[in-house]
Amino acid sequence: MRVDMVWDTLPRGNWQKECVMWLNANHLPSPKTGYATFFPNTTDYNLSDSPPSWSKIPSLRHAMTLWPQTPYFFFLDDHTIITNPSLSVESHIVDPTRLESLMITDVPVVPPDSVIKTFSNIPGDRIDFILTQDKDGLGHNSFILRRGEWAKYLLDAWFDPLYRSYNFQKAERHALEHIVQWHGTLLAKIALIPQNTMNSYTAKDEKQASDSGIYKDGDFVLYFGECDNPPERNCELEMRPYF
């Protein structure tokens, strides 16, 4: 397997089951794609009292244990779908030359005005963590992690109980932004790529999106934002047209 797609899901009603079925149908592990899929539940992991979104970290650690040979892990949360299955993760994002052309260097790591800027001269093959930014933070719902000692370091440091007990406002998102700015050994292996490469937002979220963030036809991945806040939004309604 070259890539493992990790879809973190909250166990919720029938809609979610359908979603999973559809995803499975469209992205089955096959010799052609060489991709595996993994659907952990947020309740699988012991988070004490922390918000369930923290479960993405142990689920990634779990995926790395279950697929010991897979080099890349592509995390998507349950409000994200792949809209263009013809694109391959390797050629579209991960390949070093492609990645170098995509990397956004020398910008504040945490928009809009972080003092810490991304490094400007990391070669593409030294990157272990590929992220996007939206308007005011790092994208937390769609990212790619490469297996290795550094990945274990990132995940374990990110999952430190002290960050959970600190009660960041946006949970693991703020924790990630914090550690990425304070610890250069983490920043050294991160690449930021344009948002529409793997994290396009719908029109409903355009206020949060960065300049290049609104979905266009042919984009790889689409995120539906906080669509589980009735009554303004409804995930089922929003996502169904894309199936």
57 vs 209 by CB, closer to another protein: 57
Residue 1 makes CB contacts below 8 A (sequence gap 6+) with 29, 34, 35, 36, 67, 69, 70
185 binds another protein (CB under 8 A): yes
Distance CA 207, CA 218 (A): 21
Distance CA 222, CA 128 (A): 23
1 vs 157 by CB, closer to another protein: 157
Distance CA 210, CA 193 (A): 12
Could you list the beta-strand ranges (E) of 89-139.
Answer: 129-132
- Single out the residue of 165, 218, 240, 242 in contact with another protein (rule: CB under 8 A): 165
Residue 185 makes CB contacts below 8 A (sequence gap 6+) with 153
* Beta pairing, strands 142-146 & 129-132: antiparallel
Among the listed ranges 113-121, 123-131, 152-160, 226-234, the one in contact with another protein (CB under 8 A) is 152-160
Site string for another protein, 20-59 (x = CB under 8 A): -------------------------xx-----------xx
- Single out the residue of 152, 218, 240, 242 in contact with another protein (rule: CB under 8 A): 152
Among the listed ranges 30-38, 160-168, 212-220, 230-238, the one in contact with another protein (CB under 8 A) is 160-168
CB of 122 to another protein, least distance (A): 15
Distance CA 109, CA 191 (A): 10
Among the listed ranges 26-34, 120-128, 134-142, 147-155, the one in contact with another protein (CB under 8 A) is 147-155
159 vs 201 by CB, closer to another protein: 159
Buried b (16+ CB within 10 A) or exposed e, 155-194: beebbeeebbeeebeebbbbbbbebbbeeeebbebbbbbb
180 vs 239 by CB, closer to another protein: 180
Note the residues at the interface with another protein (CB under 8 A): 45-46, 58-59, 61-62, 64-65, 68, 149-150, 152-153, 155-157, 159-163, 165-166, 178-179, 182-186
